[in-house]
Amino acid sequence: MKNENRKSNKTKLINNLYKSLYRIRTIEEKIALIYPTDQIKSPVHLSIGQEAVTVGACAALLEADVVFGTYRGHSLYLAKGGDLNGMMAELYGKSTGVAGGKGGSMHLVDTNRGIMGMSAVVATTIPQAAGYAYAFKVMKQNNIVVSFFGDGATEEGVFHETLNFAALKKLPMIFVCENNQYAVLSHQSERQSNTNIAERASVYGMHSEKIDQNDPYTIYEKVNWARNQIIEKGRGPFFFECMTERYREHVGPSERDDIKTLSAEIVDPLQQLSKLVSSDFKQNVFKEVDLELKQAINFAEKSAFPAKDSLYKDVYA
């Protein structure tokens, strides 16, 4: 590939990353604004500040690649291409929501986009991701699975059980830890004897790396490289610990008041990207996102609540 081509590819990618990040930030900030109106009767765990991880990682994935996440899932859902209308309606508890109003903010899903689900119980989707990757492996499907989880999840036993299994079976998957250093109000150092999560993962015999930048492009590059290693060389699994920062409360719309200053080293990814993108491009993005979001809110508001008898549907397949 010529140098110029490569450069223009990079520009395109940066533009896309910017757009994705701006879009998610804007949507979540809007959710925070709507929240006090009580139309969203669901506990929302916002990713504001830490979108870089899911935005960067998902930029390296194909639609048929699969992700699993947590209750803090809006950003992952949107970055992986999940339908915004379906998400908004789900938050509003409407029948047109991705889970028909039965899942709410914590259980987003969009199987057409490879978004296989999110759980309110910490660490529970980690082994599920490995199971999905096992299926890819035996079915010889050329796709990968990415498991997203927080720093707190790495304390749960099942995290360790899954890393061992994934490494043992050389699964086509990537573990991505969104390390915002907190579990609710508890800092990592209160909970972990060794806060270097990438190091802890490395002993299972897999490539494991800490990414300090909170920068979607860096994360994209790493995940893209790992994905290629898996698809082309049959290597895997890979582990990335991505240092990041959550700006809002653990749950709910408010700004954090539990930490005075955010870590100095960690930069706001949106501000950073913003410098790399033309203002024309940005103006377009602003408009597009604004329109899309208005329509989605309108869709959610106008949609009907589920019929009463749907209470009894889908208990069994």
Partner 1 sequence: MPKSNINTRSISYAEAINEATRQLMSQDESVFVLGIGVDDPRGIYGTTSNLSREFGQDRVVNMPLAEDAITGIASGSSMAGMRPIVVHERMDFMLLAMNQLINVAAKSHYMYGGAVKVPMVVRSIIGRSWGQGAQHSQALQSFFMHVPGLKVIAPTTPYDAKGALVASIKDDNPVIFIEHRMLHNYKGQVPKDLYSVPFGKARILRAGHDITIVGISHAMVECIRAAKSLATSSISAEVIDPISLSPLDVQTICESVEKTGNLLIVDNGWTTCGASAEIMSLVIENVQGQDKVNMKRMGFEFVTSPTTKILEDLYYPDSRRIAKAGYDLLMGKETDWEPDVQESPEIDEFKGPF
Contact positions toward its own copies, by CB under 8 A? 155-161, 163-168, 191-194, 199-200, 202-206
Burial of 170 (0-12, 13-18, 19+ CB in 10 A): middle
Q: Could you say which of its own copies, ligand TPP, Mg ion, none residue 203 binds, taking C-beta under 5 to 8 angstroms by partner kind?
A: its own copies
Q: How far is the CB of 239 from its own copies (least distance, A)?
A: 12
Contact yes or no for 41/305 (Cβ under 8 A): no
Residues 151-190: x/- map of binding to Mg ion (CB under 5 A)? x----------------------------x-x--------
Q: Is 222 or 227 the residue whose CB approaches partner 1 more closely?
A: 227
Taking the CA atoms of 36, 244, 163 and 224 in sequence, report the sign of the dihedral they define: positive
Cα separation of the two ends of the chain: 49
Pick the stretch among 53-61, 107-115, 225-233, 263-271 that binds partner 1 (CB under 8 A).
107-115
Contact yes or no for 219/211 (Cβ under 8 A): yes
Contact yes or no for 195/162 (Cβ under 8 A): no
Pick the stretch among 67-75, 93-101, 150-158, 294-302 that binds Mg ion (CB under 5 A).
150-158
Near partner 1 in 144-203, by CB under 8 A = 152-153, 155-158, 161-162, 164-165, 168, 183-186, 190-192
Q: State the alpha helices, DSSP H only, in the chain.
A: 3-34, 51-59, 74-79, 84-91, 125-138, 157-168, 188-191, 197-202, 216-233, 269-275, 279-302
Q: Is 161 or 221 the residue whose CB approaches partner 1 more closely?
A: 161
Count other C-beta atoms under 10 Å from residue 31's C-beta. 21
Q: How far is the CB of 72 from ligand TPP (least distance, A)?
A: 4
Q: Could you say which of its own copies, ligand TPP, partner 1, none residue 266 binds, taking C-beta under 5 to 8 angstroms by partner kind?
A: none
Q: Which two tokens stand for residue 174?
A: 């990537």
Instruction: Give residues in contact with Mg ion (CB under 5 A).
Output: 150-151, 180, 182
